[in-house]
A = this chain, B = another copy of it.
């Protein structure tokens, strides 16, 4: 049971920033996004990806590759459309 909760959390964590990435590129509006928070979270998911690679844990690697890509798109939009 705990395992299913963990898998569901990992899956949601993987996809949840896709709508935000889409929104900032469609609207070109990033005013209310905190650059600090988004850079810190990009660092967070990048470190999880490195951690996953170091211990060769595929669920961690896959979940964080998607999040890293979404967060790069969000931070890039924030820097471009400020």
Q: Are B17 and A37 in contact (CB under 8 A)?
A: yes
* Majority DSSP secondary structure for residues of A touching B: helix
Q: Are A12 and B43 in contact (CB under 8 A)?
A: yes
With A20-B33, A33-B33 already in contact, the answer to whether A9 and B47 are too (CB < 8 A) is: yes
Copies of this chain per assembly? 2
15 residue pairs A–B, Cβ–Cβ below 8 Å: A5-B50, A5-B51, A9-B44, A9-B48, A12-B40, A12-B43, A13-B41, A15-B40, A16-B37, A18-B37, A23-B32, A24-B32, A29-B31, A29-B32, A33-B33
7 nearest A-B residue pairs (beta carbon):
A16-B40, A20-B37, A9-B47, A2-B54, A20-B34, A19-B36, A12-B44
